[in-house]
Amino acid sequence: MELKVLILDDEEIILEGLCSFPWERYGCKVSGKATNGLAGLEEIKKQEPDLIVSDIKMPEMDGLAFAKEARALLPDVEIVFLTGYDNFEFARKAIKISAAEYLLKPVDMKEMHHVVEKITTKIYGTRQKISDYKELRKKYKEALPVVKNKVISDLIHGRYSDYSNIKRRLSSFNIYLRQFAVLYGRPHTINRDVQMDLDEDLFNFVICNVCEEILEKYGAKVYYEIGAMGYCFLVSFSQVIDSVDCEKKCIDACEEMKESLKEVLQMDISFGVSNSSLDVSLLSEAYSQAVDACERCAYLGEESEVLAYADVVDLKRSSWQLNDGEKNRILSELVRGNVETAKMFISQVFMRCDEIEASKFSAMELLMTCYRYLNNGITAAEEKKERYSILSESLKKIHNSYTKNGAVDVLKNALMYFSNLNSGATINRNEHMAGRIYEYVEHNYIEDLSLDFLADQFKMSKTYINRLLKNYCGKSFLEVLVDMRMKKAEQLLVSGEMKVYEIAKSVGYHDQSYFIRVFKKYYGVTPNAYKKI
């Protein structure tokens, strides 16, 4: 953006001379001129210049009085004084008004260039700093939700060693945890067709948005974290209430969230609810309570899909257990089909435990967790029955094992079985989706199709669409599209009923010359030459 310059001088010749200075060389333009200070003030109000070049000796209002008023209107404006008097008193007053420079008449053009370059460099430097600051503020505001979530995540997972300043840190982000509880939700049945129709980020957003709306209805401020195996919701109440009432609110909200997610996403989910607390240093403990309660749902039957930690706290548990990171690593390897890597990691993890009962409990817990994830979307009754039978048998074998190694071996075999089945199901789903995309292109190749359009249509990434087509059709989206168009173009050419430009349009090309180039590249000859073959 050009800098605006206002020039004041009561001598017309000098005024015009200053206006003809090559201001554009320094990114400036003369936006106004005046022959006295009063007229100059009017120009300031209209133009809001960045730089003022003003004579000192002028009628009605001299340059010094004008500059003082100008500075009041535009505190950051740069001012250059011109005067025919080499007078120290004038210079002293000019400096007091914070003039940028002080030049003598007649103006030396070399000195003028030097002064203008110096001042414009300063103005542009200041503007850049302001711009950088604004951009930084903008980025900070955009990143603030992420930063807030990081602070909450660090608290939840116990990453702070010193809680003395944590309230101050939270308040700096306008996070106030007076009375809070943690809810942990873990899906155990997901309709894969519904999930695949939504991008993963959108799928997670829908879950969190549904839950957040319901929790806010119960008077809670909500912070959430999406994990590989479940969803954590930190709910904070602005008023301190009885802990029993607080937990009841959370349980009622979880019941409503469960029903809403069932209706919206055809998804079944279990929730664990921690004890309520007033002490942020206990947030990590509350998270563990919620996860613990959620995991207990698997052992207490189908009706126990919302469980408070207060109801299971008396159930004793070994001090040793797999942490979330270890569970996520094992599950991630199984989902990717890296069964041997998962088995090796399981062996390493269980080597740390010397207690047979703790090993058996953790093995059963891990098997249940992986079963829920790897068998989501199975709808065939016979297949569900067979898989559940394998699960029940494996849990019984682990429970009855006399050695740690025996329990771990049963765990590995069961996980390998479910992982292999999951890989087959994934392949079938991917083939089905690739077929849907291929069929859509086949029916709409005449339209202006693009990867962006398909990504929006099928709610998945462009890269994933290309990968699906490449894996199951052997070609990228563009290759598939060109194939279909060229084969149809060949049929129309052979029939001889249409002209080349008509064929081009009928197979999706609006530019005849571009169609001819594509055709020649595909068949090695032009359309007209192909007709004669």
| SS3 at position 188 | strand
Quick one: which of 20, 17, 39 has its CA closest to 28? Answer: 20
- Residues 466, 480: Cα–Cα separation, whole Å: 10
What percent of the chain lies above the pLDDT cut of 70?
Answer: 87
- Is residue 57 pLDDT above 70, yes or no? yes
Rounded average pLDDT over 153-169: 74
pLDDT score for 409: 92
- Is residue 167 pLDDT above 90, yes or no? no
- Residues 99, 530: Cα–Cα separation, whole Å: 79
Rounded average pLDDT over 343-347: 89
pLDDT score for 381: 65
- Peptide bond preceding 106 in cis form (omega within 30 of 0): yes
Q: Are 440 and 454 in contact (CB under 8 A)?
A: yes
Q: Which residue has the higher pLDDT, 158 or 422?
A: 158
Q: Which residue has the higher pLDDT, 376 or 398?
A: 398
In the sheet with 179-190, reading across from the earlier edge strand, the strands are: 220-226, 231-237, 179-190, 267-273, 306-308
- Is residue 142 pLDDT above 80, yes or no? no
Instruction: List, in sequence order, every residue forming a beta bridge with 52; answer none if it has no partner.
Output: 6, 79
- Is residue 39 pLDDT above 50, yes or no? yes
Stated length of the chain: 533
pLDDT score for 132: 82
pLDDT score for 425: 45
Rounded average pLDDT over 139-149: 73
Q: What is the band of 159 on the pLDDT scale with cuts at 50, 70, 90?
A: confident
Whose structure tokens read 């953790």?
Answer: 362
Q: Across all residues in the chain, what is the average pLDDT?
A: 82
- Residues 44, 41: Cα–Cα separation, whole Å: 5
- Is residue 55 pLDDT above 80, yes or no? yes
Q: Are 24 and 49 in contact (CB under 8 A)?
A: no
Q: Are 54 and 8 in contact (CB under 8 A)?
A: yes
Q: What is the band of 533 on the pLDDT scale with cuts at 50, 70, 90?
A: low
N-terminal to C-terminal alpha carbon distance within the chain: 62
pLDDT score for 95: 58
What percent of the chain lies above the pLDDT cut of 90?
Answer: 18
- Residues 248, 285: Cα–Cα separation, whole Å: 19
Whose structure tokens read 């950088």?
Answer: 132
The secondary structure of 407-442 as a DSSP string is: HHHHHHHHHHHHHHHHHHHHHHHHHHHHHHHHHHHH
pLDDT in tens, 235-261: 999 888 888 889 899 999 999 999 999
- Residues 28, 80: Cα–Cα separation, whole Å: 15
Structure tokens at 401: 């094992």
pLDDT in tens, 91-130: 556 655 666 677 777 888 888 899 999 999 988 888 888 8
Q: Tell me the one-letter amino acid at 58.
A: M
Mean pLDDT lowest for which of 66-70, 309-313, 516-520?
309-313
Rounded average pLDDT over 49-65: 88
Q: What is the band of 426 on the pLDDT scale with cuts at 50, 70, 90?
A: very low
Rounded average pLDDT over 348-365: 85
- Is residue 316 pLDDT above 50, yes or no? no
How many Cα neighbours within 13 Å face the side chain of 212?
13
Whose structure tokens read 């069961």?
Answer: 414
Spell out the domains of the chain, with CATH numbers in brackets: 3-129 (3.40.50.2300), 157-307 (3.30.70.270), 479-532 (1.10.10.60)
Structure tokens at 2: 């050009």
Q: Are 222 and 235 in contact (CB under 8 A)?
A: yes
- Residues 155, 1: Cα–Cα separation, whole Å: 46
Whose structure tokens read 């270890």?
Answer: 326
Q: Are 353 and 359 in contact (CB under 8 A)?
A: yes
Question: Which DSSP category does 377 fall into?
Answer: T
